[in-house]
Amino acid sequence: MQKERDAAGTDSKKSVLVLISRLSKNDFKTKYAGSYLGIFWAFVQPVVTIFVYWFVFSTLRAGRVRDVPYVLWLIAGLIPWFFFQDALNSGTTSLIEYSYLVKKVVFNIDVLPIVKLCSSLYVHLFFMAVLVLIYTLMGYFPGLTVIQILYYSAAMFIMVLGLCYFTSAVDIFFRDLTQIINIVLQVGVWMTPIMWNFEDLNIKGPLIYIFKANPMYYIVEGYRDSMINKVWFWERPFLTLYFWAVTALFFWIGRIVFKKLKVHFADVL
């Protein structure tokens, strides 16, 4: 009997993974369905944004940061932010977008935020490869620490998933949340050291701890540690422990809110 239960549990997990895979691929394809260039548009906006920031900030500052060209320093911070921004926005509206599935009694709606994040992950994986390629072509291949961007990507995925369980549940009852998140993201990109550097601004005192309290600081600096500084994540123990404590809190609150509100989703939608 125990073996049969274990086998049933394994099959159930496999079916959930297959469902997530199929839905995320379909979501990625249908997002740009009807346009002539299709999924090409998923990559256009990030590339244009990189070039705009590169042009603007390279004319306002010196050409190098931490002994690398500014563009390399910039894209190491922008690429994780692009995923965070897209995943949080799409994950927040996942239940509303898939309302026809939420209303199905037998459907496991817990997977819908994961589906949206996986859909965003496809683009992020592409840009991770582009990031490594650009560094290599410009003669700044980071070495073994490059594998660490997989760790930081996984850490960011888990953090955003916890946030999306909360925001997707609340968004059904409070539709203004989407607009609030857009404003927070607009402010957040400047509160995170993506286009600017702590060393340049000579920030000291309590203010630096406020900036570092932002969980995305850990991710952005982690990408730069992997690509530029060649520092492993365990060499920053306090930041690592802080990030995972905050992520665990996000996930715990997100799951509690999601479970408590789940019984009302179909009625409201």
Record the pTM: 0.87
Helix axes 237-268, 215-224, angle to 10 degrees: 130
How far CA 97 is from CA of 27, 106, 187, 269, in Å, comes to 10, 18, 26, 10
What are 74-78's contacts with CB under 8 Å, separation 24+?
A: 74/50, 74/194, 74/195, 75/50, 75/131, 75/134, 76/131, 76/220, 76/223, 76/224, 76/227, 76/228, 77/192, 77/193, 77/194, 77/195, 77/220, 77/223, 77/224, 78/46, 78/49, 78/50, 78/53, 78/194
> What does the block give as tokens for 152?
């930081």
- Alpha-carbon distance 67 to 64, whole Å? 6
Region of poorest pLDDT, from 36-45, 113-122, 165-174, 182-191: 36-45
> What does the block give as tokens for 23?
């839905």
Confidence (pLDDT) at 67: 77
- Alpha-carbon distance 92 to 184, whole Å? 13
> What does the block give as tokens for 184?
């927070």
- Alpha-carbon distance 235 to 169, whole Å? 37
Side-chain-side CA neighbours of 152 within 13 Å: the count stands at 32
- pLDDT at 7 exceeding the cut of 70: no
Confidence (pLDDT) at 39: 66
Confidence (pLDDT) at 4: 41
Mean confidence (pLDDT) of the chain? 85
Q: Which residue carries 């049933």 as its tokens?
A: 8
- pLDDT at 10 exceeding the cut of 60: no
Confidence (pLDDT) at 81: 95
| Element (DSSP H or E) covering residue 194 | none
